[in-house]
Structures are given as C-alpha cells and as structure tokens.
Amino acid sequence: MRAAVTGGAGFIGSNLVARLLIDGNDVVIIDNFSTGSKEIARILGKRGATLMEGPSSLISDLTPVDAVFHLGMPSSSPMYKRDPSLLSNVVRDSIAVFEYARRTGARIVYASTSSLYNGNEPPFSEDMQIFPTDFYTEGRYWLERLAKVYYDLYGVRSIGLRLFSVYGPNERAKGKFANIVSQMVWASLERRPFVIYGDGSQTRDFIFVSDVVEAFLLAYNSDIEYGIYNVGTGKETSFNEIAELIREAGLNLNVIYEDNPIKNYVYRTLANTSKAEEELGFRYKIELVEGLKRIVEAYSKKEPVLAY
C-alpha cells in the first residue's frame, strides 16, 4: 500500500506512520509542524518515509496513493479559541483531501473527535444528536458532513473515527494541549505540581495510541465505504484516579486543585464501542496501567520514543 498521512509528524500521525512503515508500506508525510516534530519527521525519514512540508492541501500535488489518513488538523479546542481562523484552514485542507480522493480513487480515514458529544449523557453512541459547542467541534462536525456529501455525490470512500482521550509516547510537541495523562506524567518526572481544574472527579475514556493506530488500519482494510465510529475503551477514569495510578507507578505527583474557568467544559466522556466492535472488529487491548507504564518509560528517556 502507498499511503499519505497528513499530520504525520504529530502525536497520533507519527505513531501511525511508524506502524505503516513496519508493515512494509510506502508512506508520505504531509505536515506543517504546527504541533508536529521535525525531529520525529527525521527519524521517520530514516525509516523510509517521505516528507512534504506544508499544509494538508499539499496533497493536491501528490501522485496517486491508495490511502489518505487525514490527521493534519489542530486537535485541541483552546487552539481554535485562541485563533478561530484555524477553522477556515480545516475547511480548505479537507476539501483538498476529498477532491484528491475524488480524482484518484484513494480511500480516506480521518480523525474526528468525541468532543462532538458535549451536551449528551454518556455513554456516547454514534447516533446521538450533535451540538457543536466551539470552533473545534464545529470543524470536525463539518468534516463529517463533508465526507457524507462526497460519498453521496461522488462515491468517495471514507471512514471517520471519533477519537476519545488518546495518550501515549511522542506527545511532547503538543505541550499544554497534550492529553492529561501525559501532562501528569511530565509533571511527575519534572518534579513540579500539576493543576487540576475542579475537584478531580471529571472523567475521560482514555485510550492508548497504539490501539488508535489499530483502529485506523482496521477502518482502511474494511469493506465499509462510508461510516463514523467511536474509538475508545468503553471505560471512564477520573483525573484523581489517574493521579493515584501515577503514584502507584512509583512517581511523586503533587496535585493542586483550582476552580474551573473553562466554559462548555466536558465533565465526562465514555464511548459506546459496540458499533466499532461489530462492524470494524475493533476492540482496545492496552489497559490503562500498562499504558501508563509504557509512557513513563518513554518519557524518562532523553530521545523521542514512538509506540513502534
């Protein structure tokens, strides 16, 4: 298979590229390095990946590929709050990706988000009504609707994955926008306090990045021409429980609690994974305790570490 991965030097994208290369695929990374890592891009280049530096719309210049894994979009709500023009970039780049697939026949698997479920009661299922609450969720919901239009009008095959709280190695470049699990581990290793907004009872459905990579591959290899699927574990864990697990792993974590200043804050996420299990054959494998062990080991090293 020849594949293009937009955002391929970012957190999830880089781990996906590493897996694709291990499986013997020809991979082109497209990344503008807004949150991606040039060091990781160099590492993946040594493993055989080709780099196109710039926005995801550069895919228009690429010779035909079999698969487009579209992850080249800012992936945190505060990024859009700080710069709402990012939404127009998502629209522009996604149109370029779907137009490319329309011309070449490539199959698309793209990253959506569980944040779309804000306003619903968990567990979240794909048939729930969507209430976009910020620029970030509006962008991803727009992308899902665009995918449906391109399928209905032109037969462009695509699967959207509503990712829950993904954590794992090589998330450093995201900084303060990284997953709460990674941020807590960093605070522990750097011996500085970590601030939790509220009382720490809020929960997330945490899923390790290698399980997410597996979901992308299952989606590409499926016979389904169009669909949207949750990618989570079906379990929720509180921030306080994460902190305790980190301490049980032998790290010293000092937590400070502060009032939550964020509007439209999501207090609970929990995936109903039955559709992905039945139609894609996806089920997570890495339990949280094992995932924590892996990222503590990864982030304890000076050099970047990938899941593969």
Q: Report the C-alpha gap between 99 and 51 in whole angstroms.
A: 21
Residue 136 among the catalytic residues: yes
Q: Report the C-alpha gap between 219 and 285 in whole angstroms.
A: 17
Rounded to a whole number of angstroms, the CA Rg of the chain reads 18
DSSP designation for 186: H
Q: Which DSSP helix (H) or strand (E) runs through 149?
A: helix 135-154
Pairing of strands 194-197, 50-53: unpaired
Q: Are 267 and 135 in contact (CB under 8 A)?
A: no
| Ramachandran area for residue 248 (φ above 0: left; ψ -120 to 50: alpha; else beta) | alpha
Q: In angstroms, what CA-CA distances link 60 with 68, 95, 102, 112, 248?
A: 12, 10, 11, 22, 49
Catalytic residue of the set 100, 136, 284, 299:
136
Q: Are 111 and 161 in contact (CB under 8 A)?
A: yes
* DSSP code string of 211-256: HHHHHHHHHHHSS-SEEEEEES-S--EEHHHHHHHHHHTT----EE
Q: Report the C-alpha gap between 17 and 26 in whole angstroms.
A: 10
C-alpha angle 116-117-121 in degrees, rounded to nearest 5: 170
The helices-and-strands tally (H runs, E runs) of the chain is 10, 13
Annotated catalytic residues are 136
